[in-house]
């Protein structure tokens, strides 16, 4: 319960911090004249079929179209990695000097960390997917609310899965440098995950 509360608080806090100079996709207008896929911020999204699509998007318009589109694209690449496990998307999104500021115990630092985490989690949940439920872009920061889903058919911490459903949230904050993501902070709803897996925390 505490982890779920933390996730909800994080979403509310981030949304509140962006309350000035933003436009959301739910009511996106381009100066009041355009709607649909060509309206801001929908037009920033790369609709390539291989990339995850944000379910909702909020963008600080003051950073300009080019920078905003760059950051949205980096987010789509990063979370396509988490959605598929394919390293090429991670390599396209993060700098070789990438740093995880909330590094879990046992996970390597740098870009090898997400690869390690994805591989190990997919050993437990082979059909893992990552939904980019909310994407917020402001300045040089990307904030995302993610929903991970799948079925526990592999093994985790010595426990063999029986096909249990997995469905839990995470919050990421990514810091974008000149061309790629250079560092991040993240929190996962591990209490819900471990309960679903039937594993003691």
Task: Give 135-175 pLDDT, tens digit per residue.
Answer: 999 999 999 999 999 999 999 988 999 999 999 999 999 99
Q: Residue 30: is it exposed, middle or buried by C-beta count within 10 angstroms (0-12/13-18/19+)? A: middle
**Pick the residue with more confidence: 114 or 1?**
114
Element (H, E) at 122: helix 112-124
Q: Is the model's pLDDT at 5 over the cut of 70?
A: no
Q: What single DSSP character describes residue 40?
A: T
pLDDT at res. 38: 74
User: How far is the CA of 72 from the CAs of 56, 98, 100, 103, 138, in angstroms?
Assistant: 12, 18, 20, 24, 10
pLDDT at res. 23: 47
Return the structure tokens found at 28: 């996106």
Q: Is the model's pLDDT at 31 over the cut of 70?
A: no
51-77 pLDDT, tens per residue? 999 999 999 999 999 999 999 999 999
Model-level pTM? Answer: 0.83
- Name the pLDDT band for 123 (thresholds 50, 70, 90): very high
pLDDT at res. 125: 97
Rounded-to-integer distance, Cα 169 and Cα 44, Å: 25
Rounded-to-integer distance, Cα 85 and Cα 57, Å: 23
């Amino acid at each position: 319960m505490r982890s779920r509360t933390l996730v909800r608080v994080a979403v509310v806090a981030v949304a509140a911090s962006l309350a000035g100079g933003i436009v959301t996709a739910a009511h996106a207008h381009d100066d009041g004249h355009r709607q649909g896929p060509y309206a801001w911020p929908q037009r920033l999204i790369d609709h390539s079929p291989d990339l995850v699509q944000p379910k909702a998007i909020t963008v600080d318009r003051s950073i300009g179209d080019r920078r905003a589109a760059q950051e949205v694209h980096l987010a789509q690449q990063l979370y396509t990695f988490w959605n598929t496990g394919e390293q090429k998307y991670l390599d396209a999104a993060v700098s070789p000097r990438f740093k995880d500021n909330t590094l879990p115990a046992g996970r390597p630092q740098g870009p090898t960390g997400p690869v390690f985490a994805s591989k190990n989690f997919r050993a437990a949940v082979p059909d893992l997917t990552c939904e980019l439920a909310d994407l917020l872009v402001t300045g040089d920061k990307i904030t995302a609310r993610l929903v991970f889903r799948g079925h526990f058919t592999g093994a985790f911490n010595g426990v063999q899965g029986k096909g249990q459903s997995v469905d839990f949230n995470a919050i990421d904050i990514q810091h974008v440098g000149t061309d790629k993501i250079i560092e991040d902070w993240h929190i996962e709803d591990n209490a819900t995950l471990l309960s679903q897996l039937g594993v003691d925390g």
